[in-house]
Amino acid sequence: MDISRRGRRSRHLSFRTCGTLLVTTGLLISGCSSESSTADASMASLSRSTPAELAPYYGQKLSWRECGAPGFECASMKAPLDYAKPAAGDIELAVARKKATGRKAIGKEAAGEKATGENGRLGSLLVNPGGPGGSAIGYLQAYAALGYPEKVRARYDMVAVDPRGVARSEPVTCLDGTRMDVYTQTDVTPDDQRETDGLRNAFETFAAGCEARSAKILPHVSTVEAARDMDVLRAALGDEKLSYVGASYGTFLGATYAELFPRRVGRLVLDGAMDPSLSARRMNRDQTAGFETAFRSFAKDCVARGAECPLGAESPEDAGRRLKAFFGELDREPLTVGGVGGGAGGGVGGRKLGEALATTGVIAAMYDEAGWPQLRDALTSAMKDKDGAGLLALSDGYYERDEDGKYANLMFANAAVNCLDLPPSFASPAEVRKSLPSFRKASPVFGEGLAWSSLNCAYWPVRATGEPHRIEAEGAAPILVAGTTRDPATPYRWAKALASQLSSGHLLTYEGDGHTAYGRGSDCVDSTINAYLLEGTVPKDGKRCS
């Protein structure tokens, strides 16, 4: 349930093996203090256009301390809860970094010399894995600070901030684990009025839980506010311009920053891009088609394997029909997953696999072709052996549900940001029904469920503050936009659209499968993005990689 939303969570598996993003535990966050080596630089980076009431935020000093794994430092940063009323109160945001590894660069900086040459430090490189709702700090500590190319890490301080409402930055919370288990199992292909009412009640219950637990922050987790927070962080880090790599939803966050602060744009990589000009309904329908495209790639590969393919099909279309029929069987009679214990508060044992969770499990594997073998095994177990544990594990990974039955903040923050950024896709069940034919056309396998899942924001307690619009960022330095031709979550057409909207956009195309392009195994893609990050070199118009 809730598997269709604007700016799907990034399953940014680049530079690492397939699996769920692991959030490093033991993060220690320090408060702001007067001890910082970037004090003068942060004040110098203030723009004349910065309102006087924001000066204390832009001039704040970050107090860094060791945290997590060796080499990582953490701090906390203050930002206005409401930028329209800075005096009304603060929000505290968690920040982490791993300093540039180039010894010569660090030595020059310490000596007050200008960093130049191959080993010269280039400043900070902010990273965001997408979502909305993905923990940037978890991503940095588990992967980016070690998985990015060594020559990039040598010249940049790798930095992450959990956006407001996410993970360690005053997270949005909505339901406990038991109630989330019920929510994620809700039937999203209602067959009658009773099931339609049940789906509506589930969305209302979820929204009411968010309001009850997070009323203060819900109106202030928009992408615009998160982008403004990034500029405050830029100043606190002492950087005149922002360098940034954003994946999936992170591309919308980065593009929004460029729109707000075009003259402060350094080197921005927007990988797996979103199109900000689209309505929520159009985005969800495009994304539905994207998952169908990804499934057809999986099905084509599966069919070619003959007896190894659990769908037992002769064509991708036939495979889709068989999978859809299997979902229908689960809708009528869910599988009881083997094992005792577990239940609503534990692992997979003792739980049931219905259509909603099975669909989520399949979609989770569409984000990266490295997950296809796991999906084949899971479908084989479920369809032939009536064991749904594999699909349930894929779904749990997608929802970030742990073995104790607890859910991370991801899905709460995801809904909170999406429902604030754009007016809802649909206002009522009647509107969904009218659009079902177009969603089914976009995806015979997933269309119906993704259409109904798009109803969630209709019951959100806070009115949307954003509107779909083109982002041009006139005056910004060159921005690199990367798109993957068979990307399931951010269709390739979105990357083309964003690159054409940005006044300084340059499109890099990766002809392949999976979500996002950087680090997926293409030397062409990686060398192009590395050259941009390290030298500012943008690719020639129309450059394509495979």
What lies within 8 Å, CB to CB, of 142 at 6+ separation is 21, 22, 23, 24
DSSP H helices, 156-246, are 177-184, 193-214, 223-237
CA distance 15 to 129: 13
Kindly state the tokens that stand for 12.
């940014």
User: Catalytic pick from 169, 248, 381, 504?
Assistant: 248
Cα–Cα separations (whole angstroms), residue 134 to 139, 160, 246, 315, 438: 8, 11, 11, 36, 30
User: Catalytic pick from 12, 220, 506, 515?
Assistant: 515
Burial of 467 (0-12, 13-18, 19+ CB in 10 A): exposed
What lies within 8 Å, CB to CB, of 382 at 6+ separation is 326, 335, 353, 358, 388, 390, 391
Instruction: Map tokens 């009218």 to a residue.
Output: 434
Kindly state the tokens that stand for 354.
């219905």
Bridge-based pairing of strands 265-271 and 242-247 is parallel
Q: What does DSSP assign to residue 243?
A: E
Please report, as a single letter, which amino acid is at residue 366. Answer: M
Query: Among this protein's residues, is 37 annotated catalytic?
Result: no
CA distance 203 to 415: 11
CA distance 256 to 192: 41
Per-residue burial over 81-112, b = 16 or more CB atoms within 10 Å of its CB, e = otherwise: bebeebeeeebbbbbbbbbbbbeebbebbeee
Q: What does DSSP assign to residue 401?
A: B
Query: Among this protein's residues, is 192 annotated catalytic?
Result: no
Query: Among this protein's residues, is 515 annotated catalytic?
Result: yes
Cα–Cα separations (whole angstroms), residue 535 to 29, 291, 421: 33, 35, 34
CA distance 401 to 515: 21
Residue 159, phi then psi, degrees to nearest 5: -130, 145
CA distance 394 to 495: 28
CA distance 168 to 161: 9
Q: What is the largest CA-CA distance in the chain?
A: 72
User: Catalytic pick from 231, 239, 487, 526?
Assistant: 487
CA distance 460 to 116: 51
**Catalytic residue IDs:** 248, 487, 515
